[in-house]
Structure 1
Amino acid sequence: MYSLLRYLAGAVGLLLLIPSNSIASTQDNSTGLIFEKTKGWQLPYKPIDVVQSVDGQFIFVLTENNRVLIYEPNG
C-alpha cells in the first residue's frame, strides 16, 4: 500500500511539473504528419492534463476539480 501511495505521489508530481500537449486528429502540412484519434474515453470531469506512467501501465488524468483519475491504457 505504501509503495502504491509513493507511486501515485510521484505521478501527481509529474502532472504538476511536466507540460503536455494534446494530440488531435489533424494534418500538419509543414511536417507531413497525420495524427488520428483511435480511441476515446468518457470522462466524468473536464481534464486539465494527462500523463502516462513510465512503464506504460497507467494513465493519470488531472481534472478541473483537482481529482486524479487513473486508467489502464485499454480503458
Structure 2
Amino acid sequence: MQRRKRLPTGELGELEKVGSIPTTEEQVAELGMQLTQEKLSNIQKDVIINGLGSQVAQMKIEIMAMKGGGA
C-alpha cells in the first residue's frame, strides 16, 4: 500500500510505501522473474532428456553391432 503524507505547507508529499504488501508492479516483476527461472529450468531438463535419449540410441546401436547387426 502507498500513501502521501501531508507536508507542513498543507500540500501532499511524495508517495511512500506503507506496510509489507507488494504493489501490483512488484508482483508482476516477481512473477516475471519466477516464470523466467521456470523456463530456464525446463530448457535444462529438455537438454538432459535429449542427451540421455541420444546415449540410449548409441547404446542400442553398439549392442546391435556386438550381436552382429542382428535382426
Please give the range of the TM-score, normalised by the shorter of the 2 chains.
Answer: under 0.3
Question: Which one has the largest radius of gyration?
Answer: 2
Q: Give the structure with the higher percent helix.
A: 2
Higher strand share: 1
TM-score where L is the length of structure 2: 0.26
Greater RCO (Cα-Cα under 8 Å, separation 6 or more):
1
